[in-house]
Structure formats: structure tokens, C-alpha cells
Amino acid sequence: MPRASKAEKAKNHQRIIEEAARQIRAGGIEGLGIADLMKSVGMTHGGFYRHFKDKEDLSVAAINHAFETFSERLERDLDELGAEAALKAFVQRYLSTEHVKNPSIGCPASALSGQAVRCTDAERAAISRGVSRIEALLEKALCDLPTRIPLSAASFFSLLVGGVVLARSATAEKDAEHVLAKSRLLLEDIGLLQPQ
């Protein structure tokens, strides 16, 4: 079988990273299996080592990709909508039932935060860099609001992540929605959201 061209190899490399990013958000870093991952992208297990040194090498690339793609929408919204509208849209998406039910396409911070303690140093560093990137975007947005909000970017993001993590742990949908509603209510109380 002929080897893939450089362009094909780069495309395959990206497909592996994208699928791994989806899988680690859905099932965790520990749940990422190389054989199943490679099968899901139509490649062989042996082909993995043409792209990555080991599983940690892949997981770091996948974490970086997950945070990068998640941050891009917030960045785009800030540029196109301005701080206030972008933050409101971000909060509505973040504290939504859809986000709670679909961790594989959601925020990697809420999907991976409980696992950071069991990660390798390199994986934890990738998570930390990703969280810092989101917090920097939120800090800029909070500073650009017409009215000062009494919350740091780290506190604001922690509230969102915590709300989603707790909602995901609920055993009934109504309980999950209750957690999300309480998180939204707190943001209404500090003036970031309009009462619904």
C-alpha cells in the first residue's frame, strides 16, 4: 500500500486530533483508546505512531485543539457583536441543556475539570493553558462592558463551569435544569443577564 502524501498525512493528522478532542470531552482522557480512535477515523492502530509519539502526545494535541476551537467562537462573537452581546450569548450557550447533554462538542474545561488531578503534567498544563485563554477573553469582555460587573473573569468562568459540571451530575433533567437556572439567576443578580 503506498504511503500517504504530506498533504494527506497532515489531513489525517488533523482528523485524528479532531476526533480525539471529541472523544476526550465525551469520555475523558483515560477513556481514550488508540485502537478505537483510529478505527473511528478509518485508519489502523499501527498508523497512529506515524502521527504521534504516544497517547500523551495525542491527548495534549487534542486538549489544545478542543480549547482552541471552543475559544474561537467567543473570540469571533466579541469581534462581531461587542462585549455585552457576546457575553450574553456565551452564557446562554454555556448554561444550556444542550451543552450539558453534549460534552463531546462543548467546553473542554467543564468536560475535563474533574480529571485534571489524574492527568499527566503535560495534559494538566494543556488544560491550564486552555482555561487561561478563555479567562483572558472573558477578562477583556468584562472590562469592555458599559457597567462594571463585580466578578473577576476567573470567578465568572468558575461559576459557568461549576454550573455545567453539577448539572451533568444530576440524575434527572429537571434537577439539571434547576442547577442551570440557579447559575443564570446569579448572573442576573449581578447584572450580566436580563431576567427571563
**Residue 101 lies inside a defined structural domain of this protein:** yes
**Residue 13 lies inside a defined structural domain of this protein:** yes
Compute the distance between CA of residue 61 and CA of residue 45 in angstroms, rounded to an integer.
Answer: 18
**According to the model, what pLDDT value does residue 196 have?**
59
> At 131, which CATH number?
1.10.357.10
Instruction: Work out how many domains the chain is built from and give that number.
Output: 1
Chain-wide mean pLDDT for the chain? 92
**Residue 61 lies inside a defined structural domain of this protein:** yes
Task: Evaluate if residue 164 carries a pLDDT over 60.
Answer: yes
| 99-125 pLDDT per residue, tens | 999 999 999 999 998 888 899 999 999
Q: Say what the pTM is.
A: 0.91
Among 7-11, 53-57, 104-108, which stretch is predicted with the lowest mean pLDDT?
7-11
**According to the model, what pLDDT value does residue 4 have?**
67
**Residue 196 lies inside a defined structural domain of this protein:** no
Q: Which domain holds residue 117?
A: 6-189
**Residue 177 lies inside a defined structural domain of this protein:** yes
Compute the distance between CA of residue 43 and CA of residue 99 in angstroms, rounded to an integer.
Answer: 30
**According to the model, what pLDDT value does residue 148 have?**
85
**Residue 195 lies inside a defined structural domain of this protein:** no
| 24-43 pLDDT per residue, tens | 999 999 999 999 999 999 99
**Residue 1 lies inside a defined structural domain of this protein:** no
**Residue 92 lies inside a defined structural domain of this protein:** yes
**DSSP symbols for 79-115:** HHH-HHHHHHHHHHHHTSHHHHH-GGGS-HHHHHGGG
Ramachandran category for residue 28: left, alpha or beta (phi over 0 → left; psi -120 to 50 → alpha): left
Q: What is the mean predicted confidence (pLDDT) over 119-132? A: 96
**According to the model, what pLDDT value does residue 62 have?**
98
Confidence of residue 61 (pLDDT cuts 50, 70, 90): very high
